[in-house]
Structure 1
Amino acid sequence: MAINKFMRLALKVLSYPDIDIRKTYPLERSIRYLRPPALLPKNRWRDHMILSDGREILTRIYSPMDDAGMDTLLFFHGGGWVTESIDTYNKVCYALACATRSCVVSVEYRLAPEYPFPQGLEDCYAAARELILRPAGFGFKAAGRVTLIGDSAGGNLAAAVSLMARDQGEFCIPRQILIYPATAADHSAASPYPSIRENGSDYLLTAKRICEYIDLYKRSDQDLQSPYFAPLLAQDFANQPDTLVITAEYDPLRDEGEAYARQLRDAGNRVTVYRMKDALHGFMGLGTGYVHVRRAHALINSFLSGRDRDESAGQLA
């Protein structure tokens, strides 16, 4: 659906320019967690706890209806590293499992500001390590082909885990899917990415709110120089997984997500990029009744099957 002038006006009103998430995040969490959880078939999901450095990390495993998948998707949810949870992402993850006919493992990583960078990232890295090296602990005979996937802050975490896995050499990640990911550290008016200014005030997620999320996530300004905090800061983009990047046309994070894809491609990695026309940040949460979600599922299936090697429609140069 194209965004007409009436929708633009409504979006501007709903962008809440005067609310400071640094002060209101406890209330926002409470409101989100009050939503009734998505009703899922009881035999299609189960919780599993992993242990890392004496700390328990909750994961939730979703199975497709026909159990036909050969893939396992390790999912990191969005929410600015501050809000959202595996509960609020039930619908997203189960829909993804059914659409891809794959198992989806969602990670309940620790949230900022109570647990600032890099603690949530460490949880995601630990989950990836356990799934890839010890799949039997998740109840799998084998994990199949593992793909990291995340949206927004979760896309940031997926990219950071891939960089960290390469640098530490403990395991290999074959593929990653980054959905409207945050990859930069600066979202002020000085940002080099035009989408911050073009889409940064009237399309629900604002540049101001991104800056506030960054403030909650970081421990200090030194974190703003870390490629694990902002993957675009990496000095070396080589030896990264095959990558699918999906961005949204009216998203302030659009250009930095596409810039990250170009860096990966220029370093010799196989990368597919798709800009979702007329889409806003966060569209994956809308449900399969929306064309953007169905299109994203189709893109993900093409990527998982390898068909995207021969498909160029919608990709960016």
Structure 2
Amino acid sequence: MPLHPEIAAFVAGLPAPPEGPLDPVALRAADETHVAPPAERLPLHAVEDVTARTASGDVPVRIYTPAEAEGNGVIVYFHGGAFFLGSLETHDHVARSLAKETGLKVVSVGYRLAPESAFPAGLADCYGVVRWVAEEGGSPARGGTTLAVAGDSSGGTFAAAVAAMAHDDGFDRITHQILYYPSLDLDFDTGRYASLRENAVGYGLETAGLKPFNAFYTGSGADPADPLVSPLKRTDLTGLPPALVVTGEYDPLRDEGELYGRRLREAGVRAAVSRYAGAGHGFVQHFSWIPEYHRVFEETRDFLRRN
């Protein structure tokens, strides 16, 4: 199907990219202007800002509790934003929908951003919060059976990398990895994946913008050849948690996400790959109010219950 008309109208109204070097501070400020006021946000039983005390230091987190009764697990969520954008606020609506539709607590992680914090600061924060959730006596995961990691775009990168780090450390508490249109190979050579060429222009995220946007991260010490930076570079995927990989038909990153799902299955890992028709990159963050894309949260719920 063609690009969804609501998305097409949005893309058509996007301003031209700014000339000159990208300014991360200005881009973050612009991102925050789109945050809904608290009174307009999806209501939940409880939303609490706390500090997770981790091996990498104190990390701000926001805990979303969908109902008064204790659920049977936790989703630790990492927001997207090319490793230099995004916050607890810009992705608050994603975390709320994830909590409501799955019935699980969601712990959203305010990890450190590039370029001010060099690699692996943000990744270390994410992994540290997962360990905090699982191990601290008063943590939200106590008594739960599910401990999933989830993320969109670069947050999906972190979710896959955290799952691998945990496996290598012998930390076997992570039960699922949920990746929404993940960035899994930071080598953006257009010869590597057909989607980088087919979806290069006109769908919101453009292939030519991938290198400059990710340069804040790669320039801070993140080597695209490192499997913790590009999880597709990992040679052995055996033993990783079951995965749900969600992609968009018109996303330049579509093919690398789908390849990750295939490689997981080849390694004996249960993996579901779900391509959303008519969608470009970022549709969970920006267009989940459209019913056919809000379904991603229901699909996540069903995946967590099946696997």
Deviation readout 1:59-118 (Å, 9 max, x if unpaired): 100011454632311000001111110111111111111111111000000001111321
- Which residue pairs with 2:151 in the alignment? 150
What does 1:277-316 correspond to in 2, within 5 Å? 277-286=277-286, 288-306=288-306
What does 1:1-317 correspond to in 2, within 5 Å? 2-3=2-3, 8=8, 11=11, 14=14, 16-17=16-17, 19=19, 23-34=22-33, 35-39=35-39, 40=41, 41=43, 43-53=45-55, 55-65=57-67, 67=69, 69-134=71-136, 136-139=137-140, 141-190=142-191, 192-219=192-219, 223-286=223-286, 288-306=288-306
| Structure-2 change in CA distance of 1:9 and 1:150 (3 Å) | closer
Which has the larger displacement, 9-18 or 276-285?
9-18
State the distance in 1 between where 2:221 and 2:121 align.
16
| Structure-2 change in CA distance of 1:9 and 1:70 (3 Å) | closer
Higher helix proportion = 1
State the distance in 1 between where 2:7 and 2:52 align.
44
Counterpart contact for 1:77–1:89, Cα < 8 Å: yes
Gaps spanning 5+ residues in structure 1: where?
A: 310-317
Q: Which amino acid aligns with 2:259?
A: A
Give the aligned length.
304
Gaps spanning 5+ residues in structure 2: where?
A: none
Q: CA deviation at 1:55?
A: 1.9
Q: Which amino acid aligns with 2:246?
A: I
Q: How high is the TM-score relative to the length of structure 1?
A: 0.87
Q: CA deviation at 1:299?
A: 1.1
| Structure-2 change in CA distance of 1:121 and 1:221 (3 Å) | closer
Deviation readout 1:136-183 (Å, 9 max, x if unpaired): 333554243111110000000000001111112244311111110000
Counterpart contact for 1:116–1:216, Cα < 8 Å: no
Which has the larger displacement, 177-186 or 278-287?
278-287
**DSSP-derived class of the 2:111 partner:** coil
Q: CA deviation at 1:207?
A: 1.4
| Structure-2 change in CA distance of 1:10 and 1:267 (3 Å) | same
Deviation readout 1:22-44 (Å, 9 max, x if unpaired): 52321110112234444344852
Q: Cα RMSD between the aligned structures? A: 2.5
State the distance in 1 between where 2:260 and 2:15 align.
26
Q: How high is the TM-score relative to the length of structure 2?
A: 0.90
Deviation readout 1:257-280 (Å, 9 max, x if unpaired): 001111111111011111001111
Q: Which amino acid aligns with 1:247?
A: T
State the distance in 2 between where 1:285 and 1:152 align.
10
Q: CA deviation at 1:219?
A: 4.0
**DSSP-derived class of the 1:3 partner:** coil
Counterpart contact for 1:159–1:176, Cα < 8 Å: yes
State the distance in 2 between where 1:272 and 1:284 align.
17
| Structure-2 change in CA distance of 1:199 and 1:10 (3 Å) | same
State the distance in 2 between where 1:118 and 1:174 align.
23
| Structure-2 change in CA distance of 1:180 and 1:19 (3 Å) | farther
Q: What percent of counterpart residues are identical?
A: 35
State the distance in 2 between where 1:146 and 1:24 align.
36
